[in-house]
Structure 1
Amino acid sequence: MKLMKKTAVCFLAVLICNSAIAAVHYVPDEYATIQVAVNACQDFDIVIIAPGRYYGSGNRNINFNGKSITVRSIDPTDPNVVNSTVIDCEDKGRGFAFYMGENADSTVSGLTITNGYALLGGAV
């Protein structure tokens, strides 16, 4: 019983520490572009993008720079939100570029990426 209690306390401490580490960054409320929000992130932070059309420099060719972060809409499970949270690449590049050692903890969710252009992978 004593060991079980110690294990539970350690588990809760780890959960609290991990929760305290992650920060949430909001586009466009806090950051003008998605890339600026990503640049402000540390590993395991989350970038939440409000519904709208995002285009121009800083909203295409978004580079996670090897960070383990999540970039997502306000509700990735709601098709209406996903359809109205749009990254428009304007045929000038791709939505996201993962080539700096990103891994399975580097995620994009609940966004619509349109008009991407690249020789390989116009969206991601």
Structure 2
Amino acid sequence: MINEKAKVSIIMGAYNSENCIDTAIQSIIEQTYTNWELIICDDASTDNTYELLLKWKKIDSRIYPIRNAKNLGLARTLNHCLKYSTGEFIARMDDDDRSYPERIQKQVNFLNNNSNFALE
């Protein structure tokens, strides 16, 4: 049985996304499912992306900004995020995307109702 209020670790890589990342983060904050953490790794951006992440951390303590010392690419950046995740579930989010408010709730409900489901 999966815990219906399990923590979801949402991981996001970000690179030079100061013009779009606010929308992505706001859409996670507005989720109807509230037991989540958002781990965002800035992949050595040359703009103000990391400074924006620090601002969001002050707004919502469930947001965890981290930073790569050099540009590693998306796959390695997401793996860096996973090192810090504490959730039972992992969800992906892109820095230029937006999630509907019920996204995480629907995904958790699906996993609760389909415990044998696996992607291979």
With the shorter chain as reference, the TM-score category is: 0.3 to 0.5
Higher percent of residues as strand: 1
Query: Which structure ranks higher in relative contact order (CA pairs < 8 Å, sequence separation ≥ 6)?
Result: 2
Larger CA Rg, structure 1 vs 2 = 1
Q: TM-score, normalised by structure 1?
A: 0.31
Q: TM-score, normalised by structure 2?
A: 0.32
Higher percent of residues as helix: 2
